[in-house]
Amino acid sequence: QYDRVYNFSAGPSMLPVPVLERCRDEMLNYNGTGMSVMEMSHRSKPFIAISKRAETLLREVMEIPENYKVLFMQGGASLQFAALPINLRCNGAADYVRSGNFSTIASKEAAKFIKVNIAGSSEATAFDHTPLQEELTLDPQADYVHICMNNTIYGTKFPYIPKTGKVPLVADISSCILSEPIDVSRFGVLYAGVQKNLAPAGMAIVIIRDDLLHEPAAETPLMLNYKLMADKDSMYNTPNCWSIYVTMLVLEYLQSIGGVDEMARRNKKKADLLYGFLDESAFYIAGARPDCRSMMNVIFRTDSPDLDAKFVAGAAERGLLTLKGHRVLGGMRASIYNNMPYEGVELLVDYMRAFEKENG
């Protein structure tokens, strides 16, 4: 109808068509207010209702316990790499597990503020897996343990939630939020940039257990202060209103299709189709170790960078876009986030089969 493509980008990524249609329909006059959400004061009644509803829906679909606060913060997930050590600092040391690019960046950013202990790493095997529990060396005195749940570039995911005893577990869930159920109560903090499974870029969601909220050091920038943001319902300053609005719409849509359980079923079906094909093929090489494969980012390549480039170009001609792998890995990456329809993955596999026949 709209001549849309299947966009396999790692983020920003696809949004549900019904959500885009609602944005369009409400663009000139949101709910009888005579203006768009973009033009509205963040202190106005209609916008406060949007923000509250976005939070309520998130709490419902993720089953967030009462003793957790939800913050809508700006600066994407990357700004949280600094916010975490600044706000959670007590003893002044934290454990970081390196399982890929973003967890490594997060650990280096934290090291500007606190002592960082690398509690586990899969760097030696080119981040082909997420470290197992028995590979972790955890410090019982650490202020927190940080992991990146889904590794967007390397296509891996923690298949388990690390046990950290009394030490709060902090997880970056940017590239897997709402893709399958997650037991929030196992975590001290969950955070995510919204531009993969939820909304336009420029915002991060932080879900934090309330006993971890305390006044950070005096020099803490206002915009990084979790306690201030929690006390002000994420409205200390002008928030990312548009992103909050689309978050609300996407969550309404998610709820209408049956919530996270149904989304997980759909995601598994997509991932099974793609990995199933990869496993049968002698032409394509899958990137991640099978026991920790991501349902969201599927890494693969042929044995030749020239063929990889030909693959990506041919895919684009068929409306299958942004399949080029991240520059650190080369090859291909298909990001099949929540809002990638099953048909997109079917078309991709059809194309992969045809390309193999022609070039194998």
Q: Which residues bind ligand PMP (CB under 6 A)?
A: 10-11, 76-78, 102, 148, 152, 172, 174-175, 193
Instruction: Tell me the closest approach of the beta carbon of residue 79 to ligand PMP, in angstroms.
Output: 7
Q: Is 43 annotated as a binding residue?
A: yes
Rank residues 10 and 286 by Cβ distance to ligand PMP and give the closer one.
10
Instruction: Tell me the closest approach of the beta carbon of residue 204 to ligand PMP, in angstroms.
Output: 6
Q: Is 195 annotated as a binding residue?
A: yes
Rank residues 195 and 225 by Cβ distance to ligand PMP and give the closer one.
195
Instruction: Tell me the closest approach of the beta carbon of residue 174 to ligand PMP, in angstroms.
Output: 4
SS (H, E, C) the chain: CCCCCEECCCCCCCCCHHHHHHHHHHCCCCCCCCCCHHHCCCCCHHHHHHHHHHHHHHHHHHCCCCCEEEEEEECHHHHHHHHHHHHHCCCCEEEEEECCHHHHHHHHHHCCCCEEEEEEECHHHCCCCCCCHHHCCCCCCCCCEEEECEECCCCEECCCCCCCCCCCEEEECCCCCCCCCCCHHHCCEEEEECCCCCCCCCEEEEEEEHHHCCCCCCCCCHHHCHHHHHHCCCCCCCCCHHHHHHHHHHHHHHHHHCHHHHHHHHHHHHHHHHHHHHHHCCCCEECCCHHHECCCEEEEECCCHHHHHHHHHHHHHCCEECCECCCCCCCEEEECCCCCCHHHHHHHHHHHHHHHHHHC
Rank residues 167 and 205 by Cβ distance to ligand PMP and give the closer one.
205
Instruction: Tell me the closest approach of the beta carbon of residue 77 to ligand PMP, in angstroms.
Output: 3
Q: Is 77 annotated as a binding residue?
A: yes
Instruction: Tell me the closest approach of the beta carbon of residue 148 to ligand PMP, in angstroms.
Output: 5
**Nearest residue to ligand PMP, by Cβ distance, number only:** 76
Q: Is 152 annotated as a binding residue?
A: yes
Rank residues 33 and 78 by Cβ distance to ligand PMP and give the closer one.
78
Q: Is 318 annotated as a binding residue?
A: no
Q: Is 106 annotated as a binding residue?
A: no
Known binding residues are: 43, 77-78, 102, 152, 172, 195, 237-238
